[in-house]
Chain A
Amino acid sequence: MNSDQREQQLLRGLAENDTKAIQTIYAGNFSLIQALVLNNNGSYDDARDVFQEAMVILYEKARKSDFQLTCQLRTYLYAISKRLWLKKLKHHGLFVSNTELSLLEPVIPVEEDLEMAEKKDEEFEVMESAFAKLGEPCKSLLEAFYIQKKSMSDLVEIFGYTNTDNAKNQKYKCLMRLKKLFFAQYSK
């Protein structure tokens, strides 16, 4: 298998949330990004955040049907991470000497991906805050059903409902509230 096919396989694995693929990509690229961030005024936590954010962007990209990576996975992650970190530095008003950051591989156009990721992030933030405002036990109930994909009978057991109808009822009420909260912010 040549390296190109291997990378394609890894990306497919990532899109399918395959643990092994994620670990391989992670182990193979994290140190590079960590060095980049650490050498440019960042901390270990910053490095982790930046890298994981880059991974998320790669994941979104890999999930698209028309997806095509025009460069090496490593190069892509590097380009994305570099942009992300520069943005964060600017945000914190920190000074960066351009020497390190400009000494890099040919610039890959990642602006579009980043913009898209940002838009997505905003949506997720809205969803997150809607969930946060929802309050318990609705939050846990909906998370269990929609995020952890538990079945109705599981919910009955976990949350102690007398029967599934009761659980359904409760879930419906919670969902309606969440929807309201979400659209109240989303449409703005």
Chain B
Amino acid sequence: MSEQLLIESLERYFNDEMLPEEKAYFEQMRQDNPELDQMVVTHKIFMGKMAEFAERQKLMTQLSSTHDHLLEKGAIAEDQKKISKGKIRQLWHRYKKTTAIAACIAGLTALIISGVISTFGPASRQTIELLSRDIEQLKKTQDYQYTQIKEATKLPEGAVVKSGGSAFMIDGKGYLLTNAHVLKGSSAVVANADGQEFKTSIVYVDHAKDLAVLKITDSDYEPVKTLPYDLKSTSVNLGAEVFTLGYPRNDITYNKGYLSAVSGFDGDTSTVQISLLANPGNSGGPVFNRYGDIIGILSTREANAQGVTFAIKSKEIVQSLESWNDKDTSAVNAAVLNGSRNLKGMNRENQLKSLQQYVYNVKAYN
């Protein structure tokens, strides 16, 4: 038997293609001839290796074609941005349209619901707003003021006004009380009813009560000995007539109203509700009773209702000043503001003439 024939026989033998008699004969030959047997064994090993090799090659081809196929389909990606988000991106691509539609519906629903809630629902926390003037408005007034009394301004060159409001004097040495939220920048200048400006420094801030004290540091300021009002820390009655002075615009503005509830927003006992038209810029302004004594400081108003304004009670102011006094010897003594009452019995115009000198316009800047 030539070797070629032998190999062919071997292959037929391994592939089980031999007839039974032939197979028996071949096996007999293997037994008789160890050389042949050795050859069969090595060839078998070789064919096995070859088959494995063939399979491996096939798998490798299959894997790389799978890779290309999936890449094309977008099931896997070789892009830095898409990486490790393969699945999500894939889902995104698949559901892009559905998601967009769903988002539209959700957005619309949200709008409708919020509309319904704001129309019919009870007032929420967000419906009160601070009464400090916003920046846009201030820019306008600032420009106006620059053209009017350019020389008089004490704002430093290039200063950006952040917010503004009102303040009133609590000590003739130049201490002014205002809301903490009025002082958004790092410093502030104040202007009196005549438009004269003074530099100040912030000497005390009580964020919890939303109160702050400014001290006029300007040499142009002439201290006053006594103030025409006191800080009435006793309770006030429902329906009491009140009025306020403030700077919702650059000229001092008067407004009057009445005490409409003894508690503030959402039953807040540190504030009172006043029925009074107040505007941004009124923040920090004093609330006077009809005798010209201070019963609080204007701070917030309800956004959704006209004329519903809240003022921090004077009792809170006194407490805040006292706790400052406990910690700091340079603090204002709240007792200074006691027992003057010299505007009692005056008509309103005369009261205002006297009071307006002590109410200041605050411009906080950076």
Q: Which A residues are within 8 Å of any B CB, using their own CB?
A: 17, 19, 22-23, 26-27, 30-31, 34-35, 38-39, 44, 48, 52, 55-56, 59, 120, 123-124, 127-128, 146-147, 149, 168-169, 172, 175-176, 179, 182-183, 186
Contact = CB atoms under 8 A, between A and B. Distances in A.
B60 A52 contact: yes
Nearest to A127: B53
A168 B8 contact: yes
Contacts of A128: 53
A35 B50 CA distance: 35
Contact of B62 (A22, A30, A120, A175): A22
The 10 A-B residue pairs whose C-beta atoms are closest, nearest first, are A31-B86, A35-B84, A147-B54, A27-B75, A127-B53, A44-B78, A172-B4, A52-B63, A30-B76, A26-B66
**How big is chain B's contact interface, by range?**
20 to 34
B83 interface: yes
Contacts of A124: 52-53, 56
B46 interface: yes
Contacts of B52: 120, 123-124
A127 B49 contact: yes
B59 interface: yes
A31 to B, nearest CB: 3
Q: Is the interface of B mostly helix, strand, loop or mixed?
A: helix
B70 interface: yes
Given A39-B84, A147-B53, 16 more contacts: A17-B62, A19-B62, A22-B63, A22-B66, A30-B86, A31-B76, A35-B83, A56-B59, A56-B60, A56-B63, A146-B50, A149-B54, A168-B4, A168-B8, A176-B3, A182-B49
Contact of B67 (A52, A149, A186): A52
A21 B109 CA distance: 44
19 contacts: A19-B62, A22-B62, A22-B63, A26-B67, A27-B76, A30-B76, A31-B86, A35-B83, A52-B63, A124-B52, A124-B53, A124-B56, A146-B51, A146-B54, A147-B53, A147-B57, A149-B54, A168-B8, A169-B4
Contacts of B51: 146
Interface in B1-29: 3-4, 7-8
Chain A facing B: main interface SS: helix
B98 interface: no
B64 interface: yes
Contact of B83 (A34, A147, A179): A34
B76 A34 contact: yes
Looking at B42, B56, B87, the one whose CB has the most chain A CB atoms below 10 A away is: B56
Given A22-B62, A52-B60, A124-B56, A31 B70 contact: no
Contacts of B56: 56, 124
Interface in B72-123: 75-78, 83-84, 86-87
A34 B75 CA distance: 13
B225 interface: no
B16 to A, nearest CB: 16
B59 A31 contact: no
A52 B59 CA distance: 9
A120 B55 CA distance: 12
A59 B59 contact: yes
A55 B7 contact: no
Contacts of B67: 26, 30, 48, 52
Nearest to A26: B66
B333 to A, nearest CB: 61
B63 A183 contact: no
A41 B275 CA distance: 69
Given A17-B59, A19-B62, A44-B78, A175 B7 contact: yes
B58 interface: yes
B46 A179 contact: yes
Nearest to B87: A31
B341 interface: no
Contacts of B77: 31
Nearest to B57: A147
A126 to B, nearest CB: 8
Contacts of B53: 124, 127-128, 147
A27 B77 CA distance: 10
